Amino acid sequence: MHYSIVIYILGMVLRVEAALLLLPFVTGLIYREPQAWAFLLVAIITTAVSLLLTAKKPAKYVFYAREAIVSTSLAWIIISVFGALPFVINGDIPSFTDALFETISGFTTTGSSILYNVEALSHASLFWRSFTHWVGGMGVIVFMIAIIPMTGGYNAQLMRAESPGPTFGKLVPKVKESAKILYLIYFGMTLLQIVLLLVCRMPVFDTLCMAFGTAGTGGFGIRNDSTASYTIAQQAVLTVFMILFGINFNAYYYLLGRDKRQAFRMEEVRAYLGIILVSILMITVDIRGAFDSLFLAFHHAAFQVSTIITTTGFSTVDFDQWPSLSKGILLLLMFIGACAGSTGGGIKVSRVVLMARMVKQQIKQYIHPKSVSVVKMDGKTVDHETVRSVSIYLVLYVFLFILSMFLLTLDPSKDLLTDFTAVAATFNNIGPGLALVGPTRNFAELTALSKYVLMFDMLAGRLELYPMVMLFVPVVWKKN
């Protein structure tokens, strides 16, 4: 382990965060809120720590997978710690554990909350809370690579450690240029959503916060009823953009380039849209009697399917009161998640498709033992290493899920459904679960142990498990 490089990367990440903390400070000044000064204070502290960590540049830029994994994991932890400090200092969230839970939930775009009265927060805190979704949506490391001049050959390793999905692919030969392209697409889509929400007459502050939450598929609302009090048109815009941000960003790159047909050949995107359509239709039929018209049933079904499969976590109704079939479909969508290479969480549609084809291949192999069959995706043969990594990922996913469930059951005050959906909601970066952590409730009543377990789950889910797990492997920390 080359510790000097890890320390240097952490310093650069904090430098970015210090600059970002000025945005809620300015927001607070606009609304003349004393809570704003906490953000300036933390920005100054963060800058000072950043300067200390980057004072000495690494002698050698020898950067391997270990350094990338540790740098990425620690970066997400350290930005969450510093990002939580303003909430504690300005009194909006006095408990550090709760503030850290809220901040990790923000950066990992989970949207699980410990707040009973969101509207009691200052505008500065509400802005920062939602803005963490936007920063974390595409990735903190990707953001740093895109805007900060950095030398050395470790950019690809860092992006690989943070990228969501079974495989990592560069859009263009240079990793830095790939990061810029991703953020340009991300920024452009966010801006388009802001314009459409303004056209639908959503207040400016609400528009910015809701756009940040939708773009990062995070789900922090700034009203106590999440999105229920917004108009049908405003909710419809949110529905469409939640779906769009759940699509693999490579598809948008192809659409903007010369090879537009490649975007429509992506099997993952087709499967993702197909799952959404079938789920909406099934739930609409199941809940049609609960609404005044079939249109309203379709509207709310579309919103909840979009918010769950993309792991955004907004809600227009209390879907915990829906029939068992609808809740079962939503629970299944929690695990499937969005596309790889999107801002959404979950297992990812590409892995689900690959696992289904792996099962099909194995069945065919049993029937015809001497036949030679391969798993294909997008018309190409999937290499053995990818198939193996998907299998191992699923094993690790199940193991961590069960372990988290066990740790949460140590608190006897909760029922099993609450424990199960709390883990599912945080591990898959969704937000609300069912029962005591349902869409009209929150995570405030959980014990400190449960909250820290779920914080780990949020980070592990966002970073595709391995970076967080590797922190507990002693050999990773062995100095070279």
- Lowest mean pLDDT of 12-16, 369-373, 442-446, name the range: 369-373
**H or E segment and range at residue 376:** strand 376-377
Tens digit of each residue's pLDDT (9 = 90 or more) over 230-266: 999 999 999 999 999 999 888 898 888 777 788 788 8
**Which residue matches tokens 């099997």?**
267
pLDDT of residue 210: 96
- Lowest mean pLDDT of 56-65, 214-223, 298-307, 387-396, name the range: 56-65
CB 309 within 8 A of CB 275: yes
Give the pTM: 0.90
Distance between CA 138 and CA 140 in Å, rounded?
Answer: 7
Report the b/e string of 230-265 with b at 16+ CB within 10 A: beeebbbbbbebbbbbbbbbbbbbbeeeeeeeebee
Tens digit of each residue's pLDDT (9 = 90 or more) over 424-461: 999 988 888 888 888 878 898 899 999 999 999 999 99
SS3 258: coil
Q: Which residues contact 95 (CB under 8 A, 6 or more apart)?
A: 88
Q: What is the dihedral of CA 183, 185, 190, 196, to 10 degrees?
A: 170
Helices marked H in 342-383: 349-367
End-to-end CA distance of the chain: 5
Residue 117 CB-density burial (10 A; 0-12 exposed, 13-18 middle, 19+ buried) = exposed
Tens digit of each residue's pLDDT (9 = 90 or more) over 108-160: 999 899 998 999 999 999 999 999 999 988 776 666 565 555 544 455 555 55
**H or E segment and range at residue 162:** helix 155-162
In angstroms, the Cα distances linking 3 to 30, 55, 412, 424 are 42, 14, 42, 34
- Phi/psi for 24 (5° steps) reads -65, -30
Compute the average pLDDT of residues 294-314: 94
